[in-house]
Structure 1
Amino acid sequence: MTNFIIKNFVKNYYNVRDPEVRKSYGTTSSIVGIIVNIILSLSKISVGAMFNSISVMADGVNNLSDAGSSVISLVGFKISGKPADKDHPFGHARIEYLTGLILGIAILLVGYELLKTSFMKVINPEKTIYSTAMLIVLAISIGGKLWLSRFYSVLGDKISSATIKASSADSRNDVIATCAVFLSAVVAMGTGLEIDGYIGILVALFILYSGVSILRDILNPLLGEMPETDLVDMLEKKILSYEGILNIHDLVVHNYGPNRYFATVHAEVNAKEDILKSHDLIDNIERDVARDCDVNLVIHLDPIITDDAEINKLRCMTGKIIRAIDDKLTMHDFRVVRGDTHTNLIFDVLVPVDYDEAADMLVKKIEKAVREENPTFYAVVTVDRNYVSTYVNNPYLK
């Protein structure tokens, strides 16, 4: 059924990088979610009201909130698919994160209200009438939500959508909640125990948990989370695969919405190479990365002296000192300024973004170790943060 819907309602479904195709996937998932959740919601609310079951009605209201969330997602995908304009040069794709944020907040509000209602039924219990019709509706709901969760999961994976994946997780939680309601009805029919209010509380807690999980997943990209390791590895391997690129450092990746990436990096090249040839190489890499990786990349050129034996020796010495302090540290932009009485070793040290030691203390350690190697050497150190948390090996430190 999922493949049938994709092939018949998503035009050019195989080209997931196309913003229009992405919007079509999002629109299709939202419309399917609206239809399925409204049908389930009306069925449960009707049966719950008919037989005075707060847990069944709570489950129905939860489905109604899911339908409302799908409406929000539908609007979000429509807006996020708009092209860039003069006020939003990076496009509108981050709207998808905002719709997910609204979805999470709405689910929390629904869960809170249902928790209050269920708690009141525990305090003031009312007789619930259970029937086979109620069980049939709940069983159909479990099957429908299982399929919907899988449907969302497939579409969410295809276009890497946090919003659709959140809907999949929410549907999966709904299955657990509905199973609890179903079991409570079976227990009540078999034993006469009145646990409807307690199950309503459990359903409400599941809804609250789902809302918190969705907010956590959505807030991460909004706050600026670490780029995916696979993306970073792909970019590093792609750039380093070109003959003439000696090493790279200071890679930074920015996210302007799902699959909307902008990146900057420093690429080291032989200082003796013709500047026009090196510039042509950089231009080719930027174009190839945009075409093959769908990343808007800007490369800063760093010329490196590779054929000076003394500089290479000092570079290796300094690299060993840094690795001895901490093997998580790397070095780049190494230069040597010689004087009559002393020699300045000028370089940058790259530290992980979560590195605990203060920058000034790290610099003092390096300065001390360099002077111990030779009292006429002075280290001039700049500490950089590694915003992608990967280690790029520098062949000139060996």
Structure 2
Amino acid sequence: MVKCVETKGKAELGAWVSIVSYIILAISKLIVGSIAHSDGVKADGWNNFSDILVSVAILIGIKIAKKPRDRNHPYGHSRAENISSLIAAFMMMSIGIDVIIEGISSVFQSEKESAPEPFAAFVAVASALVMIAVYYFNAQLAKRTNSQALAAAAKDHLSDALVSIGTVVGIIGAQVRLLWLDPLVAALIGGMICKTAWEVFMETSHTLTDGFDEHMLTTYKQEIAAIDGVKNVADIKARMLGSYVVLDVTIHVDPNLTVVKSHEIADEVERLMKKRHNIEAMHVHIEPERTP
């Protein structure tokens, strides 16, 4: 449990880096987008604003997940991260839809006769560079802390960098009298926000309904079956609690083994899963192998 709290504490740093970066970028883009008359930059700013909500939700989830288990939560509070991500997905979808509607409306506004100011492109380029740096930082931190929430946030940072690059394309296109390109990019950015929101929703829903990667289950089963003394893996189940895997496995052993020897085999299963897959929460049930 101490190790769990320490890991969550390190993951909080990544969430704070995301929040601070997004606040600075969102404010900068919304102001510059308004001054430079760039729908694309403003949409990118709203994209970053939605990312602030996501990062705050992740931070809150990580903090709650640090709480130790109690009488009402015998498995702890790790799923708070998943619930926060689910709430964030709905927030992102709402903002994305608004950005799409505004962008499409701007495309068909005939009164827009001027292109956005060129300096808006520099803000978008700077944003892309910042997001690439934040992506690298959080991706590395996610690996060290085994935080799935932080890994998902890192992927979002990378998509944000691509969105900013797309904004630059829209601004450059508007400079050559393709005035519809900037608001069109804004609408596309809204679509990317909705796409990210949907992916977060689907992944989180899968986890909350105890969905698990069947290929990983197959790998676990094969490795456990290869342990000396294990006659058969009768059943194996796994689920996610926040960033951690909970594994339940039923194995068959020689019915003539002593209780002590059977227990040693169970300990070996636990040691192997922890060493190879960093699984610390697991239950090994032993049954005698039935002879035909």
TM-score by length of 2: 0.87
Supply the AA of the counterpart residue of 2:122: I
Higher relative contact order (CA 8 A, sep 6+): 2
1:162 aligned to which of 148, 155, 158: 148
Are 1:300 and 2:283 counterparts?
Answer: no
Supply the AA of the counterpart residue of 1:299: H
- Distance apart, 1:230 and its partner CA: 4.5
Are 1:49 and 2:34 counterparts?
Answer: yes
Aligned length: 288
Gaps of 5+ in 2: none
Partner of 1:85: 70
RMSD: 2.6
The answer to whether the 8 Å contact 2:224/2:230 transfers is no
Instruction: Provide the C-alpha distance between the structure 2 equivalents of 1:93 and 1:181, rounded to a whole number of angstroms.
Output: 37
Instruction: Provide the C-alpha distance between the structure 1 equivalents of 2:274 and 2:128, rounded to a whole number of angstroms.
Output: 44
Gaps of 5+ in 1: 1-15, 306-333, 335-398
- Distance apart, 1:89 and its partner CA: 0.3
- Distance apart, 1:204 and its partner CA: 0.9
**Structure whose residues are more often helix by fraction:** 2
Instruction: Provide the C-alpha distance between the structure 2 equivalents of 1:225 and 1:76, rounded to a whole number of angstroms.
Output: 20
Partner of 2:124: 138
Instruction: Provide the C-alpha distance between the structure 2 equivalents of 1:284 and 1:180, rounded to a whole number of angstroms.
Output: 53
The answer to whether the 8 Å contact 1:240/1:247 transfers is no
- Distance apart, 1:79 and its partner CA: 0.2
Sort the Cα spacing of 1:206 and 1:236 in 2 relative to 1 into closer, same or farther, 3 A. Answer: same
Sort the Cα spacing of 1:78 and 1:123 in 2 relative to 1 into closer, same or farther, 3 A. Answer: same
Are 1:112 and 2:97 counterparts?
Answer: yes
Partner of 2:252: 267
Supply the AA of the counterpart residue of 1:281: E
Partner of 1:90: helix, strand, or coil? coil
Partner of 1:216: helix, strand, or coil? helix
Sort the Cα spacing of 1:219 and 1:168 in 2 relative to 1 into closer, same or farther, 3 A. Answer: same
- Distance apart, 1:277 and its partner CA: 4.4
Sort the Cα spacing of 1:157 and 1:128 in 2 relative to 1 into closer, same or farther, 3 A. Answer: farther
Partner of 1:64: 49
The answer to whether the 8 Å contact 1:115/1:200 transfers is yes
Map Cα deviations across residues 157-205 of structure 1 (whole Å, 9 max, x no partner).
3333332222222222222222222111112223363432212111111
Which of the pair has more CA radius of gyration? Answer: 1
**Structure whose residues are more often strand by fraction:** 1
Instruction: Provide the C-alpha distance between the structure 2 equivalents of 1:83 and 1:20, rounded to a whole number of angstroms.
Output: 9
Moved over 6 A (4+): none
**Taking every aligned residue pair, what percent have the same amino acid on both sides?**
21
Supply the AA of the counterpart residue of 1:223: T
The answer to whether the 8 Å contact 1:248/1:268 transfers is no
TM-score by length of 1: 0.66
